[in-house]
Amino acid sequence: MWQDLWPNTVVSHETAVGSDHCPIVVQSQPPIRKGKKPFRFEAFWAKDEECKNIVLKSWRLQGGSRDWGDLLDCIEPLISDTMNAELIKPVSEAEIKEATYQMGGMKAPGLDGFQGIFYHSYWDIIVEEILANRLKPLLSGLISPMQNAFVMDKQIQDNIGTAHELFHFLKLRKAKWKYELGIKLDMHERGVDGGLINGVHMNLTGPTISHLFFVDDTLIFLQANRQNCDNIMHILNMYCLASRQQISLHKSSVYFSRNVPPHLRTQLSSILGMPSVSDPGEYLSLPAIWGISKRQSLVYVKGKVLGKIHGWKQSSLSLAGKEVLIKAVIQAIPSDPMNLFKFPTAVCKDLDSLAARFWWGDADGKMRIHWMSWDKLGRPKCERG
């Protein structure tokens, strides 16, 4: 009867917080997910001779041209003539093959859907990795200090930590003579010049930070006044005009420091064309700010683990299979936030409990007996773990 009235009903179990009971959500009309299925290159295609002909015809098709005009005249060149000559010298066959085989053949595909085996099979028509190898020794002098990726001895976690500190600073800001804001941009590529804007200065001895970049994840921090907002929109509009890219203003957001008056928030949000939010959300897949409870803020980690476990058929898995999944998947999920933040003991116990329940399994909806403590199971095998 129920299925006849609401045939599209979906039942989902949410993450248990502060209790061992999971909330049950029933949606009689679940949202319809639209969008094309992402492309994935199948490894067996590489054995088809016709595939190579298709690649030769389709590779490096260009879209529209870009007209930068005099937009880049204000930027001082960092590449010397000697460096440039080294970068644009003719590509040798040995360089192409070396760069191509640096990629793992069957590793997870990139955003374009191609695995390394695609490049291994058609390495004679691919040269991007060559330029990357030539740039490696020069990157430290070319990339802005606000960019912590792609440079040796720098990590993506540095950006996350800096962003977290800045949003925390804005959240607690009380001064009545100086206002700041943070902008989270949603765009296909990045393009911001910090020369015309005044960034955020958290203390007297620290640096002034105006932007944090990682691929297409862009954060901009400004002093909250009309001139800064006008300047940043002028810069972004000029970049979009030159690069033929656009900013998704409705997906972007602006986060004001605690001390900014309501009327100023409304005025600056209107100039930027972005909604003002009380929570900037996630940056590089981690929460930008914490709430009062750290355990509550980290509940998404537990949710990801539960989502993986519920998607596995425990009855068809051997202990060896469960061991692989625990080590390769469950223990890998919290690794990124653990690199930055100290997890509360309660959160660690919750994650251990989920892994233990998955390991021992259940029968008829009831947990089986745990014949050995998780502390002993977690020891190295040389210690009988």
Per-residue pLDDT at 82 = 86
Task: For residues 150 and 214, give the distance between their C-alpha atoms in angstroms, rounded to a whole number.
Answer: 9
Is residue 29 one of the residues assigned to a domain?
Answer: no
Q: Mark 229-238 as b/e (b = at least 16 C-beta within 10 Å).
A: bebbeebbee
Of 341, 346, 252, give the one whose Cα is nearest residue 289: 341
Asked whether residue 301 falls in the same domain as residue 253, the answer is no
Domain end marker among 92, 120, 142: 142
Higher-pLDDT residue of 23 and 103 is 23
Give the DSSP H or E segment for 215.
none
Residue 166 has what pLDDT? 86
Q: What is the DSSP string of 71-137?
A: TTTTSPP---HHHHHHHSSPPPHHHHHHHHTTS-TTSPP-TTS--HHHHHHTGGG--HHHHHHHHGG
Instruction: Identify the top-confidence range among 67-81, 183-197, 238-252.
Output: 238-252
Is it the case that residue 189 has pLDDT exceeding 50? no
Q: What mean pLDDT, rounded, does the chain reach? A: 78
pLDDT at 29 over 90: no
Residues 329 and 270 in one domain: no
* Choice among 123-132, 134-143, 247-256 with the minimum mean pLDDT: 123-132
Confidence grade of residue 144 (pLDDT, cut at 50, 70, 90): low
What is the C-alpha separation between 200 and 220, in angstroms, rounded?
Answer: 9
Task: Tell whether 136 and 172 lie within a shared domain.
Answer: no
Q: Note whether residue 34 is domain-resident.
A: no
Q: Provide the terminal-to-terminal Cα distance of the chain, rounded to the nearest Å.
A: 52
Residue 194 pLDDT level (bands cut at 50, 70, 90): very low
CB 374, CB 349: distance < 8 Å: no
Give the integer Cα–Cα distance in Å for 272 and 232.
Answer: 9
Q: Are residues 255 and 184 in the same domain?
A: yes
In a domain, 3, yes or no: no
Q: β-pairing, 211-214 with 282-283?
A: unpaired
Chain Cα centroid distance, residue 93: 35
Among 287, 303, 337, which residue terminates a domain? Answer: 287
Q: Which residue has the higher pLDDT, 275 or 149?
A: 275
Does residue 323 sit within a domain? Answer: yes
Find which of 32-46, 101-115, 266-280 is predicted with most confidence, using mean pLDDT: 266-280
Is residue 326 one of the residues assigned to a domain?
yes
Identify the domain boundary among 233, 265, 287: 287
Q: What is the pLDDT of residues 338-365, one digit of tens each?
A: 888 889 999 999 999 888 888 888 766 6
Do both 277 and 162 map to the same domain? yes
Spatial strand order of the sheet with 180-186 comes to 211-214, 217-223, 180-186, 253-256
48 within some domain = yes
What's at 202, amino acid-wise?
A: M
Lookup result for tokens 């001139």: 227
What are the tens digits of pLDDT across the range 298-316?
888 988 898 888 888 776 7
Domain that holds residue 229: 156-287
Structure token pair of residue 74: 């204000």
- How far apart CA 124 and CA 177 sit, in angstroms, is 61
Provide the number of structural domains found in the chain: 3
Identify which of 206, 211, 207 has the alpha carbon closest to the alpha carbon of residue 193: 211
Are 165 and 132 part of one and the same domain? no
Q: Do 166 and 271 belong together in one domain?
A: yes
The per-residue pLDDT for 154 is: 64
Selected residue with higher pLDDT from 54 and 147: 54
| pLDDT number for residue 20 | 66
- Comparing CA positions, the residue from 312, 300, 313 lying closest to residue 351 is 300
Q: How confident is the model at residue 79 (pLDDT cuts 50, 70, 90)?
A: confident
Residue 134 lies in a domain: yes
Same-domain status, 173 and 231: yes
Tracing tokens 């990139």 back to the chain, one arrives at: 110
| Residue 242 belongs to a domain | yes
Confidence of residue 190 (pLDDT cuts 50, 70, 90): very low
Residue 270 makes CB contacts below 8 A (sequence gap 6+) with none
CB-based contact 277:254 (threshold 8 Å):
yes
35 exposure class (CB count in 10 Å sphere: 0-12, 13-18, 19+): exposed
Q: Are residues 63 and 184 in the same domain?
A: no
Question: Is residue 242 domain-shared with residue 300, that is, in the same domain?
Answer: no
Each residue of 197-218: pLDDT tens digit? 777 878 777 778 888 877 667 8
φ, ψ at 64 (rounded to 5°): -85, 155
If asked whether residues 111 and 215 sit together in one domain, one would say no
Same domain assignment for residues 268 and 348: no
For residue 153, name the pLDDT band (cuts at 50, 70, 90): low
